[in-house]
Structure 1
Amino acid sequence: MKRWAKGMTEAEIAELGQLPLLAGVPADLLRAPALRWTRRHYDAGQIVFDRDSRDGDVYFVRSGAVMAIYWTADGRELVFSKMGPGSYLGELAALDDGPRSVSIYAQQPTEVLVLGQAGFLWLLEEVPALKLQIIRDLSGRVRALTERVAALLSQSVEERVRGFLARLALETGQFHPGGLINGAPTHAEIAGNVGANREAVSRTMSALARAGIIETARQKITILVPEALQAGTGTATPAAE
């Protein structure tokens, strides 16, 4: 772990300015003594912070990827989101001074820049545009969670798995016949995303493969009939270019 001193280098200031949320923040504010930055490294599988922990630090992902996880009382793992370079997390606890709502762990070797709660709140007061951006980001997350809850209440496991695969293909630019998703999630990870158990997901993936809708290999999913993944799931079709 490396804590940056007050005299930050221009390279370090430039590094902070590359983070999407901080891209418009003047350099003199990023080097202000009120901001205490820490650089941390996590190995794959290592916990970044636990649910219900009380620190209010805000984390910015520089490299790698992290996952937001909620473990139920019966030990099931629910995956809320995966975040890669440029993402930030931990802002809820910083804003309301409450406990962490989910656990975060590194899905692969990951480097983060950490800003203490006091510095984060100070920066929001100094740069009002940051408040608006965070409100917009939180609004997007609420919309996504609303759609997810609706799917859990109204769709079968098969429909939820198909919807998940359709969204994954859209996000990776592979929503077309022959689209190849490399580094595909495991059945356990898909189960965590759709609120099902691994066995049910495995049965659904096998059924989709037998129907000729997808092909699967180790950490790879090939999309054969993208429209069949969308049917009845509410997943939007990409606009024609």
Structure 2
Amino acid sequence: MTEAILRSARAQLESAGVEGVTLREVARDIGIAVSALYRYVDNRDDLITALLVEAFTDHADAVDAAVDAADPDDLPGAITAALRAYRTWSVQHPAQFGLAFGAPVPGYRAPADRTIAVAVRPGSRVMGLYARAHAAGLVDPDVLERRAARLDDGTSAGFEALAQRQSYALPVPAVALAVDAFVRVHGFTVMEVFGQLRPLVSPADAYFESLLTDTLTTLGL
């Protein structure tokens, strides 16, 4: 029953956006009374949270699957596979990506204890790969030195806190490079999913692959 409820809510999300996700429509779709629905979800916010956790989980699983299928000895290749999968899943699931990274849902606040850990999984997987590449001496020290020279105190402190909070085994300049790369890929993905690249280039596959090559250079790989 829980799976049926989530499946119905996901279909509403995909067809009508988050505004169209209602307990009444879910109950009608699966053939039970609204009152019976409360045995499985507390309220609409609880249902939206379930959709959000599912979206974050599916996104992270796609990234993990791409990394697991890559050559374990080719760390730049694994990072490339992870970032490519990040974008591919997002383009294929625009409604779920929009729920996760689009405009806030009016009146809804995602519970941190249910969403943060799964939301950071893709970034943490990439950071883990990059930390291994750094430890193996694959990151160009000149690139690290140039990034360190551009770090202001506030940004440096923020990245240091991030590394400590998430246990990233990287020096601050390397964290900065990894965040730079992720911002670039995520920003591209947001623009593509929300249709902002369409007036410029469509489809955007070749453009993304070019950007991905530049991103590896940015990482010093």
The interval holding the TM-score normalised by the smaller chain is under 0.3
Normalised TM-score (structure 2):
0.26
Structure with bigger strand share is: 1
Normalised TM-score (structure 1):
0.25
Structure with bigger helix share is: 2
